[in-house]
Structure 1
Amino acid sequence: MAPPVRARQILSKERFVSYFAPLRSQTYTENTQSRGGGGAGSIRSIAWNPLGSLIATGSSDRTLRVWNPEKPNVRFSTDLKGHAAGIEKVAFNPVKDAELCSVSSDGVVKFWDVRTKACVNEVRDLGNANTLAWAPDGTSLLVGNRNGGLFRISPTESTILSSHPQPVETNQMVFCWSGNKVFLPTKEGNIRILSYPELEPMMRVNHAVKHGESDEFILKGHTAPCLTTELSPNGRYLATGGGDAIISQFDTQDWICQRTNTRIVGPVKSISFTFDGRFVIGGCEDGPGLDVTQTETGEHVHTFKTAGPCHALAWAPTRYCLAYSDVGVLRIIGLDADRK
């Protein structure tokens, strides 16, 4: 059963620390003795459903599980079986609370009805797939692989709708909220802005280019591969995370990098904004601790202590609850505040 609807709290920078300081994280875990804890079974992706009533985790040991945030015991979770390789990315349909999509490195995307545990559709032959993103209307998705392949697929069709080879590998992409363009982070450290569904460059530079060079306008924010992107809830900022341990934040009107977060100690693998867009956080694969910064100023606000690196994280879509991986297990902080 979904948690009761509560009035949303809006936190200022000053209140953020006092709000979270007394809270303790809740652990969600199954028996990991046979998997070696945070080793083979480490969580690679975390996703909330649109209402924030369910949360899915995908792990490198092929475990795909859907949790009820209110009930951390594993017997209240749903284990979805069927993938033959590690889960690279999970994401709920943005307009359907019970439809989950998962992609595995064996090149298979599966669509699940989490109420019945049934796999309702699958798309194969996607190569060494490692990323996916839903279009905002929930009618199609983009899947990328490590060989530069980009595929448009549907949750209701078992064949690929269209293929779009890219010159370089695409990492974790994100759509704009209107769905007419998509932001593609690349291995070269840039971010491409393409139309959807055509997947053609949306903008061109307004100056002459050398013969043989592309006039495509791209965002340049990293000196190492750009690994992930996230759009703020109001669409004002695009945050990008790179292998250079930096989060860059671009204004989506002028496409200027307004600020950067350099406190992170390793490659940034995931980024998440709070539901109100006031705060942003990044997870990396090296070093403990999760730093929260204020979106509008870039000021450091708070650090969540962790036992180890956090590869995946996600703020809840409706409240101040943070889900994150820590030493191979799922933790959520902020639930006990709801019970006060």
Structure 2
Amino acid sequence: MAPSMRPRYSRIPKEKFSVYFAPLKAQPYNESTTGRGVASHHSLRSIAWNPLGSLVATGASDKTLRVWNPEKPNVRFSTELKGHAAGIEKIAFNPVKDAELCSISNDGVAKLWDVRTKACVNEVKGLGSAHTLAWAPDGSSLLVGNRRGELFQISPTKSSVMSSHQLSVDANQMAFCWSGDKIFLPTSEGKIRILSYPELEPVLHVNHAVKPGESTEFMLKGHTASCLTVELSPTGRYLATGGADSIIALFDTKDWICQRTVSRMVGPVKSISFTFDGSYLVGACEEGSGLEVTHTETGEHVHTFKTAGPCEAVAWAPTRYCLAYSDLGVLRIVDADRK
């Protein structure tokens, strides 16, 4: 099902980004031939590329989990993975295995799939109202969070939870550092916690006196409302955060200072993604009709991908300038290699 790999596209300078992408048309990947009708497309929640960028998966609140060949948009060339009994909240490929996919549903079930055989190779239950998922970079474990502030460490090969941790506040979509020993955890208070992994203890502490009873934990502050998602750049230089305040913040990972903010978004920022080289960042939100692309180093706006409606999920391919996004629930891909 996977296409042959193409060479990575060379870096596009920021002054030419919009010139290059403006003429390109986004390719829809429509499931209409399945007989479920258009309404089923309005629930696409999560998009994930495999490590080589040769497959892209989509998960929806109507329990549909599908793996697409980005070279062939017809649904006949896709693979549907069946088994979830509730809406799918988040999906992610194993960072070191091209064919292993994890999906979580809001009934507290995590499923591990071999997308080559369509088989569910492992299942973990009892995760509560699960809605956030992140793989450790070495692919040996995963961290799942639910809406009650519980975190669960699970293994791709074991059917029981390895360990659990109760947070004091709810957490949203998290991300690992590339070494795997830290996790970035956005909270409903608008702050981002930096915890050790797998211990889940604060890594940094303030170097000044605090009031009695106050925590000495150092947290990143970049939002006036709930922080909904975080993403670490491929170079490791910046941590991007998206909030319910319609702001994207970019933190320098050396000094943990907010270097710049992006304020062009018109609603809560549900999804953000860096290009493979870390040069550009795209954000998607619950409102409006466009995806905004920002140059990471300068904060300049370089392009808007027009959409028919709000987008809940967006993801750059890990190997080239190829953007996948949800538009009114339909997967669309705009690929710089497609002429």
Q: SS at the partner of 1:158?
A: coil
Specify the code of the residue in structure 2 equivalent to 1:208: A
Offset of 1:14 from its aligned partner? Answer: 1.1
Output the CA distance in 2 between the equivalents of 1:213 and 1:163: 24
The 5 A counterparts of 1:244-255 are 244-255=245-256
Change over 3 Å in CA distance of 1:277–1:38 after alignment to 2: farther
Fraction of identical pairs, as percent: 73
Question: TM-score w.r.t. structure 2 length?
Answer: 0.97
Task: Kindly indicate whether the alpha-carbon contact (under 8 Å) linking 1:172 and 1:229 is maintained by their aligned counterparts in 2.
Answer: yes
Task: Kindly indicate whether the alpha-carbon contact (under 8 Å) linking 2:42 and 2:328 is maintained by their aligned counterparts in 1.
Answer: no
Residues 216-266 of structure 1, C-alpha deviations (whole Å, 9 max, x = no match): 000111111000000000000000000000000100010000000000000
Does residue 194 in structure 1 map to residue 212 in structure 2? no
Q: SS at the partner of 1:164?
A: strand
Counterpart for residue 29 of structure 1:
30
Does residue 53 in structure 1 map to residue 54 in structure 2? yes
Counterpart for residue 327 of structure 2:
326
Counterpart for residue 290 of structure 1:
291
Offset of 1:7 from its aligned partner? Answer: 4.3
Residues 243-298 of structure 1, C-alpha deviations (whole Å, 9 max, x = no match): 00000010001000000000000000000000000000110011110110100010
Counterpart for residue 183 of structure 1:
184
Task: Kindly indicate whether the alpha-carbon contact (under 8 Å) linking 1:189 and 1:242 is maintained by their aligned counterparts in 2.
Answer: yes
Offset of 1:84 from its aligned partner? Answer: 0.8
Gaps of 5+ in 1: none
Output the CA distance in 1 between the equivalents of 2:101 and 2:34: 28
Question: TM-score w.r.t. structure 1 length?
Answer: 0.97
Specify the code of the residue in structure 2 equivalent to 1:338: D
Output the CA distance in 2 between the equivalents of 1:108 and 1:326: 27
The 5 A counterparts of 1:45-124 are 45-124=46-125
Change over 3 Å in CA distance of 1:131–1:109 after alignment to 2: same
Change over 3 Å in CA distance of 1:191–1:85 after alignment to 2: same
What is the alpha-carbon root mean square deviation over aligned residues?
A: 1.3
Output the CA distance in 1 between the equivalents of 2:67 and 2:212: 52
The 5 A counterparts of 1:295-310 are 295-310=296-311
Change over 3 Å in CA distance of 1:7–1:186 after alignment to 2: closer
Task: Kindly indicate whether the alpha-carbon contact (under 8 Å) linking 2:8 and 2:320 is maintained by their aligned counterparts in 1.
Answer: no
Counterpart for residue 232 of structure 2:
231
Offset of 1:145 from its aligned partner? Answer: 0.1
Moved over 6 A (4+): none
Q: SS at the partner of 1:17?
A: helix
Change over 3 Å in CA distance of 1:40–1:68 after alignment to 2: closer
Output the CA distance in 1 between the equivalents of 2:244 and 2:33: 30
Task: Kindly indicate whether the alpha-carbon contact (under 8 Å) linking 2:41 and 2:328 is maintained by their aligned counterparts in 1.
Answer: no
Q: SS at the partner of 1:14?
A: helix
Output the CA distance in 2 between the equivalents of 1:326 and 1:8: 25
Residues 297-332 of structure 1, C-alpha deviations (whole Å, 9 max, x = no match): 101000000000010000000000000000110000
Counterpart for residue 337 of structure 2:
338
Output the CA distance in 1 between the equivalents of 2:88 and 2:169: 22
Task: Kindly indicate whether the alpha-carbon contact (under 8 Å) linking 1:251 and 1:257 is maintained by their aligned counterparts in 2.
Answer: yes
Task: Kindly indicate whether the alpha-carbon contact (under 8 Å) linking 1:86 and 1:105 is maintained by their aligned counterparts in 2.
Answer: yes
Offset of 1:35 from its aligned partner? Answer: 5.1
Q: SS at the partner of 2:15?
A: helix
| Matched length | 338
Task: Kindly indicate whether the alpha-carbon contact (under 8 Å) linking 2:238 and 2:252 is maintained by their aligned counterparts in 1.
Answer: yes
Task: Kindly indicate whether the alpha-carbon contact (under 8 Å) linking 2:237 and 2:252 is maintained by their aligned counterparts in 1.
Answer: yes
Task: Kindly indicate whether the alpha-carbon contact (under 8 Å) linking 1:38 and 1:329 is maintained by their aligned counterparts in 2.
Answer: no
Specify the code of the residue in structure 1 equivalent to 2:267: G
Specify the code of the residue in structure 2 equivalent to 1:84: A
Task: Kindly indicate whether the alpha-carbon contact (under 8 Å) linking 1:35 and 1:41 is maintained by their aligned counterparts in 2.
Answer: no
